[in-house]
Amino acid sequence: MKAEKFTLVRHFDGYPKTTDFKLESEELPPLKDGEVLCEAEFLSVDPYMRPYTMSMTPPFTMIGGQVAKVVESRNAKYPAGSYVIGQLGWRSRIVVLPATPGPDKSSAAGLELLPDMGGLPHSYALGVCGMPGVSAYFGFLELCQPKEGETVVVTGAAGAVGSLVGQIAKIKGCRVIGFAGTDDKCAWLRELGYDVAINYKTCPDIDAALKEAAPKGVDCYFDNVGGMLSHRVRQQMNLFGRVSCCGAISSYNAKTGEGATVPVPEPAIVFKQLKIEGFIVRRWWHRKDEAISQMAAWVREGKIKVQEHVTEGFHKMPQAFIGMLKGDNTGKAIVKA
C-alpha cells in the first residue's frame, strides 16, 4: 500500500515557504497484530507547528493532528470503518500501533476513536470539539474566571480558538471585544455576537478604539497574539484583571535574529495587580471530555456558531498552513484530504 507524506527539509526562517517541504511517497508494511491502517480524512493546520518544529532537527515528517478512517485493522478496539483522531503527522496513510494512554491519561499524541459529538461533522474533532475547543474552554474559563457583566477582550478573535472564546464569553454574560485582521472577519465577529470588533491592521488609534469599546476597562484578556497589540490591551486592564496567554502568533514568523520588541516591565501589571498566566492545553487533557461534550452541546443548541476554512486536497497542506499563518482563515483552518 502506497502512502504520501510531507517532510520538512529545513527550518522555517520568516514565513514558511512551500520549498521548505518535500512531498514523498512510501510503501507501507503489512499490518502486524494490534496495528491499524489509517487513511486521512481531515488534517489540521495549526500555528503551533511553526514554533514547535524549530526545536526539531530536519528532515522529519511534518507534525500535526488528523481525523482518519481505519481502512484495515488487526485491533478490535479500532475496527475497519471506524474513525480516529491522532497526531499522525502530514501523512495520507499510516500504519500505527495505537498508543496506550500514560498514567496521567494524556494520550493526546496517541490514537483515539473520534469523540461522541452527537452527530456533528467529523472535522469538528479538529476544531470546536478538539484541541482548539478545549483550549478555548479551559484556557478562558479556568484562567480568566469571567463573571457576568465583565468586559472581555480577545485577540486573534476570528480564528479557531478566538472565535470560540468570544462566544463562550457571551454565554457567560460578558461584554466582548474582538480584534481581527480584516473587515470581513470583524463583520463575522459581530454576527457571532461580539459587541465590538476592531480591525487591528487598519484601526488608526487602537488605544482610543479600545477605550470607546470598553468604557469600564478590561477585566479579562484572552491573548492569542502577544506583541504590541497585547501590550496596548494590558494598559486598559482593570484592577485584578486576568490575562490568559494562549499564543503569541505575532512573533512566530519572525526571521532568525528578529525578536519581539515590547516594553517590559509594564507598570500596568504592577499597579493593576494583574494575574497573567500562560497555558498549554495538555494541562487539561485529562478533562477534555468535559469540554468537548459542553462545546458540542452549545453547537447543537445554536449557542456557538462554527466556521471552517477548508482547503481541498492533501497536496495543498503547505499552502493551507502558510495561508493560515498569514490570516487567510476565518474560523478553523483544515485540509480535506
Q: Which residues bind ligand NAP (CB under 6 A)?
A: 46-48, 131-132, 135, 156, 158-162, 180-182, 185, 224-225, 246-250, 279-281, 324-325, 327, 329, 333
Residue closer to ligand NAP, measured from CB, 224 or 236: 224
The nearest distance, CB 159 to ligand NAP, in angstroms, is 2
Which of 89/159 has CB closer to ligand NAP?
159
Q: CB of 323: closest distance to ligand NAP in angstroms?
A: 9
Task: In angstroms, give the least distance from the CB of 51 to ligand NAP.
Answer: 7
Q: Quote the least distance from Cβ 180 to ligand NAP, whole Å.
A: 4
CB of 48 to ligand NAP, least distance (A): 5
Separation CA 274–CA 255 (nearest Å): 31
Element housing 209 (H / E): helix 206-213
Nearer to ligand NAP, 158 or 177 (CB): 158
C-alpha 239/C-alpha 217 separation (Å) is 9
H or E segment to which residue 277 belongs:
strand 275-278
Q: Which is nearer to ligand NAP, 121 or 327 (CB)?
A: 327
Least Cβ distance, residue 325 to ligand NAP (angstroms): 6
Nearer to ligand NAP, 236 or 330 (CB): 330
Minimum Å distance from CB 279 to ligand NAP?
A: 5
Task: Retrieve residue 87's grid coordinates.
Answer: 497526531
Please state the closest distance from residue 163 (CB atom) to ligand NAP, in A. 8
**Structure letter (DSSP) for residue 88:** -
Residue 42 and residue 85 in contact, taking contact as beta carbons nearer than 8 Å: no
Written as one letter, the residue type at 159 is G
- Ramachandran angles phi, psi of 306, nearest 5°: -120, 135
- Provide, for the chain, the percentages of residues in helix, strand and coil under a 3-state DSSP scheme, each rounded to the nearest 5: 35, 25, 40
| Residue among 36 and 62 whose Cβ is closer to ligand NAP | 62
Residues 23, 114 contacting (CB under 8 angstroms): no
Q: How far is CA 281 from CA 56, 143, 244, 275, 319, in A?
A: 20, 12, 12, 18, 26
List residues bridging with 4 in a β-sheet: 25
174, 146 contact by CB (below 8 A)? yes
Query: 173: exposed, middle or buried (C-beta count within 10 Å: 0-12, 13-18, 19+)?
Result: exposed
Q: For ligand NAP, give the closer residue by CB, 36 or 161.
A: 161
Nearer to ligand NAP, 34 or 323 (CB): 323
The span from the CA of 38 to the CA of 217, in Å, is 50
